[in-house]
Amino acid sequence: MSTAPTPAAPANTLAPAATSQGRTARTRGTARRRAMGACAALMTPFFVLLVLVFLVPVGGAVYLSFFSDDQPGLGFGPERTVFAGLRSYEAVLTDPTFLAGLGTTALYCLIYVPSMVALALLLALLLDSGAARLRRTAQLSLFLPHAVPGIIAAVIWLYLYTPGLSPVVELLGKGGVSLDLLGVDTVLPSIVNIAMWSNLGYNVVIFYAALQAVPRELTEAALVDGAGPVRTALRVKVPLVRSSGVMVVMFTLIWSLQLFTEPMLLSQATPVVGGRYTPNMYIYDAAFTRNNYGLAAAASVVLLAVTVALSYGLSRWSNRAGHASGSSEEGFG
């Protein structure tokens, strides 16, 4: 369960020291050079990509966020790019629609993350309990929505939410319940449901794999001590899969900040979801509806900073908590 690539990992190196002692220093130097040449050849393509599609765009966005386009008239004529300092950041951070988007995302996370972790863990525990039948089939079925593209998951659920198309709404109607699943108060839970449907099985598989690695002696001992299956699950198994839990929380949270596809599609169907419903939709709107690249870049940088801060903070916190509880498990970063 410990992180494979830690600095303490065994030195399985192809450095010259490992080769036969009979060689001279010179051939050893040649071998070392060859090894390093091969290493560089294997790593270069990835790091070229890393620079090209990761470092350069991030740097570029930071750079652009300090500039703004002065467009004379209606946007015709030559653009003049002028240094604007922190003006774009000020505009983003004082824009009520951006702040509302952040608020929506925070509320979304508040509903989504705990229910996802609880449900995925519950299902994994049930599957691991030995009482469940057809474990593999159940896991595969739960995982299946992960193979459904986000936009199609949104299409399916949108239709299932739409009166006149949806058998669910019709069934509810026959039962005397009239529920507008795309209303002011219901649309956010409806979006949570789409995300839950898409990702539940993925996290169940992660938790289940971690549970499989729990030493059997511990659960045996708990049972011998008279703990029931529920107590054993909560007191013995759950603490032991904590590191997987941290990872699930971290990735669920990071991805929740990126919420875009589902609300974007729902915005076509309900006026409740506006064009700047989430930060990513705000960025898209700023760049392509308002053609304000400086603003879009600043908002991207803000979102990136929040994402990085959250994941860094979470992994630091999990590492510390891990060491405090005497476990050698490490977080993901």
Residues 260-279 contacting other proteins, CB under 8 A:
260-261, 264-265, 268-269
Binding to other proteins by residue 22, rule CB under 8 A? Answer: no
Binding to other proteins by residue 131, rule CB under 8 A? Answer: yes
Q: Pick one of 84, 121, 233, 283: the residue that binds other proteins (CB under 8 A).
A: 283
Query: Which of these segments, 80-88, 98-106, 109-117, 212-220, binds other proteins (CB under 8 A)?
Result: 212-220
Closer residue to other proteins in complex, CB, 35/321: 35
| Pair of tokens at residue 4 | 């494979």
One-character DSSP codes across 68-122: EEE--TTS-S--EEEE-TTHHHHHHHT-HHHHHHHHHHHHHHHHHHHHHHHHHHH
Q: Pick one of 90, 255, 320, 323: the residue that binds other proteins (CB under 8 A).
A: 255
Q: Pick one of 106, 118, 132, 179: the residue that binds other proteins (CB under 8 A).
A: 132
Q: Work out how close the CB of 262 gets to other proteins at its nearest, in angstroms, rounded to a whole number.
A: 10
Q: Pick one of 86, 213, 218, 234: the residue that binds other proteins (CB under 8 A).
A: 213
Closer residue to other proteins in complex, CB, 26/136: 136
Site size for other proteins, by CB under 8 A?
A: 123
Q: Pick one of 142, 181, 191, 240: the residue that binds other proteins (CB under 8 A).
A: 142
161, 187 Cβ separation under 8 angstroms = no
Residue 6 CB burial class (10 angstroms; 0-12, 13-18, ≥19): exposed
Binding to other proteins by residue 280, rule CB under 8 A? Answer: yes
Cα–Cα distance, 31 to 265 (Å, whole number): 57
Closer residue to other proteins in complex, CB, 202/321: 202
Q: Work out how close the CB of 94 gets to other proteins at its nearest, in angstroms, rounded to a whole number.
A: 20
DSSP designation for 17: G
| Pair of tokens at residue 1 | 């369960």
Let me know how many helices (H) and strands (E) the chain has, helices first.
15, 2
Phi, psi at 241, each rounded to 5°: -105, 25
- Site for other proteins, residues 153 to 192, rule: CB under 8 A: 153, 155-160, 164-167, 170
80-83 and 67-70 beta bridge pairing? antiparallel
Binding to other proteins by residue 240, rule CB under 8 A? Answer: no
Closer residue to other proteins in complex, CB, 188/243: 243
Instruction: Work out the angle between the directed axes of helices 187-212 and 150-161 (0-180°, nearest 10).
Output: 130
- List residues bridging with 67 in a β-sheet: 83
Q: Pick one of 82, 107, 235, 312: the residue that binds other proteins (CB under 8 A).
A: 312
Q: Pick one of 254, 274, 319, 321: the residue that binds other proteins (CB under 8 A).
A: 254
Closer residue to other proteins in complex, CB, 111/269: 269
Q: Work out how close the CB of 50 gets to other proteins at its nearest, in angstroms, rounded to a whole number.
A: 6
Query: Which of these segments, 86-94, 178-186, 280-288, 316-324, binds other proteins (CB under 8 A)?
Result: 280-288
Element (H or E) spanning 50, and its range? helix 25-50
330, 3 Cβ separation under 8 angstroms = yes
Cα–Cα distance, 79 to 221 (Å, whole number): 74
Cα–Cα distance, 84 to 286 (Å, whole number): 17
Cα–Cα distance, 255 to 185 (Å, whole number): 23
Q: Work out how close the CB of 177 gets to other proteins at its nearest, in angstroms, rounded to a whole number.
A: 15
Q: Pick one of 28, 61, 319, 322: the residue that binds other proteins (CB under 8 A).
A: 61
Q: Pick one of 27, 36, 90, 291: the residue that binds other proteins (CB under 8 A).
A: 36
